[in-house]
Structure 1
Amino acid sequence: MCRLSSLALAWVLAQDPHIVPIPGTKRRRYLEENLGALQVKLNASDLATLNHLFPPDAAAGERYSAQNMRVLNG
């Protein structure tokens, strides 16, 4: 069993040896959770399941609402 953050980072690490996630954190405990990704071993079945559940086009749409974009763009 692992933390969700560790699983997510382990999945990213398993994609390609040239992909290096750079998670940010302000808290030591989250840094430790992120480092836990190095201990997560995903087999081919795990990766296939995750890839099926989260295909590349699963995240779609705007990051911020139109109102928030107006604030960000000044």
Structure 2
Amino acid sequence: MADEVHAVADQAEAAPAQVALAWLLAKGEDMAPIPGTKRVSRVEENTAADRLVLSADQLARLDNLPQTVGERFQEEYGRPIEN
């Protein structure tokens, strides 16, 4: 999945995070992704996603990615997180 997001990002000349945010924003006006960050540079990068227009082909590629399932492990908390 990450490889496909990176491929779309390379094609769009954008960061993978920008592609993810632009994809969510393309889902409709009722979508409001709220990315977290600690750095001003990342806030600026994330904000720029609003200006990124993905093509119909790029959106389809992202829409057709397999859905994630299972557990993620956050080592700092010492326990799995349910998706």
Greater relative contact order, per chain length (Cα 8 Å cut-off, separation 6+): 1
TM bucket (normalised to shorter chain) is 0.7 to 0.9
Mapping of residues 33-72 of structure 1, within 5 Å: 33-52=45-64, 54-55=65-66, 57=67, 59-64=68-73, 68-69=78-79
CA distance in 2, matches of 1:36, 1:4: 12
Mapping of residues 12-51 of structure 1, within 5 Å: 12-51=24-63
| SS state at 1:63 partner | strand
Q: Percent identity?
A: 40
Q: Which has the higher strand share?
A: 2
Select the structure of larger CA radius of gyration: 1
| SS state at 1:2 partner | coil
Query: Which blocks of at least 5 consecutive residues in structure 1 are unaligned?
Result: none
| SS state at 1:64 partner | strand
Number of positions where the alignment pairs a residue of Structure 1 with one of Structure 2: 65
Q: CA deviation at 1:2?
A: 0.8
CA distance in 2, matches of 1:4, 1:33: 10
TM superposition score normalised by structure 2: 0.68
Query: Which blocks of at least 5 consecutive residues in structure 2 are unaligned?
Result: 1-12
Runs of 4+ residues over 2 Å off in structure 1: none
Tell me what 2:10 maps to. none
TM superposition score normalised by structure 1: 0.76
